[in-house]
Amino acid sequence: MTMQAASTEIASRTAAIIDEMKGLEGPLLPILHSIQEEFGHVPKDALPVIADGLNLSRAEVHGVVSFYHDFRAHPAGRHVLKLCQAEACQSMGSDAVAAKVKQLLGIDFHETTRDGSVTLEPVYCLGLCACSPSAMLDGEVIGRLDDEKIEEIVAEVRS
Ligand code: FES
C-alpha cells in the first residue's frame, strides 16, 4: 500500500469510529482506545480527523494522546512488556528491574527493539502489589520479578 493510500485508509477507518462513538459523553478517550485497538497504535494521520470530528484543536488531541501512557504513537513490537512503576513495586525494587530490562533489551520505556520483537512500557499498578515487583507480558501478569525471571522473560521475547 502506498503511503497516501495508507493514510486515506486510516482517515476513513478513524472517521467511521468517530461516527459510531461521538454521541458518547466524553467521547475522546473511548475513541482513542478504539483507534488503538484497530491499528495497534494511534497513528499520526488519525489525529486531524479526530480533531475535526470532535471540534477540538489538533494540539488538544495530541496533548491527550501524549498524556495517557496507554496510547502508543507507533506500532508495538510482537510482544509488549509492561513493567510496573507504581509505589508498591517501587518499594520492592522496580527501578532496578527496569534498569536491568532496559539494559538487556537495549531500549528505554516507550521504545521497541529494532528487530520489532518487543515494546517496553511502564504501567502504574497491575493489582499485583502483594507480589511486587510486577510486570505484564502480552496481557499476562508476572509477579516477584527477580534476576532469573527477568532473564527468562527477555529470552522469551527475543526468541
Ligand atoms: S504497585 Fe505494582 S502491582 Fe501494584
125 in a labelled binding site: yes
Give me the CATH code for the 79-158 domain, please.
3.40.30.10
What letter would DSSP give residue 69?
T
What pTM was estimated for this model as a whole? 0.76
Q: Report pLDDT digits (tens) over 96-148.
A: 999 999 999 999 998 999 999 999 999 999 999 999 999 999 999 999 999 99
Which one of 82, 97, 134 would you pick to mutate in the ligand 1 pocket, going by the greatest count of ligand atoms within 8 A of its CB? 134
Domain residue spans of the chain: 7-67, 79-158
Per-residue pLDDT band for 3 (boundaries 50, 70, 90) equals confident
Which tens digits make up the pLDDT trace of 10-60?
A: 999 999 999 999 999 999 999 999 999 999 899 999 999 999 999 999 999
The C-alpha cell at 79 is: 510482544
Q: Assess whether the C-beta atom of 136 lies below 6 angstroms from ligand 1.
A: no
Ligand 1 proximity of 98 Cβ (cutoff 6 Å): no
